[in-house]
Structure formats: C-alpha cells, structure tokens
Amino acid sequence: MNQSIATFAGGCFWCTEAVFLQLKGVESVVSGYIGGRVENPTYQQICTGTTGHAEAIQIIFDEDLIAFGTLLEVFFATHNPTTLNRQGADVGTQYRSEIFYHSDSQKLLAEAYILQLVEAKVFDSPIVTQLSPVTAFYPAESYHQNYYQQNKEQSYCHYVITPKMNKLSESFTTLLK
C-alpha cells in the first residue's frame, strides 16, 4: 500500500467529504479546518469568517489505486473553482477553493492541472483556486463527520449535495467503490 494525504477546500466540507468517500482507493476522509490563525477552532468560530480557516477535507488515499491527479480531476469537477470565497449560497472565506499541498510534487501537479483547465477553457471565468503549503489541520466536531450519509433527507443535503453525488456517479463511474 502506498498511502498519501491530500487536503482540499472546495466550499462546504459536507459536500466534498461525501464526494471523496465514494472513490476507490480513498481510505478515509476527515472534515476539518485549515489555513487560519486560531488553534483548535470551533464550527461556530469558523462560521464568522474571521479565523482565516477554510472548511476542508483531509483525504487518506492509496496511490497504487488512485492517483493525486485523479483526485484533482474530481475536485475541480465537483465544485466551482471560479467563485472567490463562495460555493453557491455558501459565502465567506471559509468556503474558498484551495489546495493545501503536502509535497512539491502535489504542488506541481496542481499547477499543471489548473493550467490544463485554463488552456482548455473548461470554465467561463478565471480559476481562483489557491495553492498553499499544508498547515495545521483541525478535525471538525464529530457531528460533521460523514454528515451526508447520516443526514441525506436534510434539505441542504437533498438540494446541494445529492446533485453533486449524481454528477459524480454519471461522470466518474469507473472510480466509484
């Protein structure tokens, strides 16, 4: 097994966690907070937008089964990387699009993939996804973990996450568990 870590912020962590938990080679996904100034922040603090943290996920994956480049492909296909500090109705710096790289290799792969998307004109607006070295990652409170699976009937899940899950199953069938 060739275990690696990837850390992505792509808006609400409930959405990104639900998506990546479905992929073959992904061993675990933890929702949490990264990139801010407060140690051990709480969800209530994050929601103010004043801590500097992003809602993010930390993915443990087996590189023998799924490549970091494939994770990037899914990341960019399942959130909007062109809206600054926003994903749909979720607005604030905590909802920014950011990749926290764990190695120079991850940084180079992310830069190359973003350039590929730009050159192919995949999006109508400029990509605003930031690339930053990984910093302290703080797991979110336990009720945020595996949120979608436990709350599928909740309106936010039904109207926001379920369409992402449908897109995932249509576009990435061969990657699903």
Phi, psi values for residue 88, rounded to 5°: 60, -125
The yes-or-no answer on residue 15 being catalytic is: no
| Residue type at position 161 | I
In contact, 168 and 21? CB cutoff 8 Å: no
* C-alpha distances in Å from residue 45, one per residue of 36, 37, 138, 142, 172: 11, 11, 13, 16, 35
In three-state secondary structure terms, 112 is helix
Q: Which tokens belong to 161?
A: 């996450």
Which of 12, 15, 47, 157 is catalytic? The answer is: 12
Half-sphere CA count of 173, side-chain side, radius 13 A? 1
In contact, 120 and 127? CB cutoff 8 Å: no
Output DSSP code: residue 176: B
Catalytic residues: 12
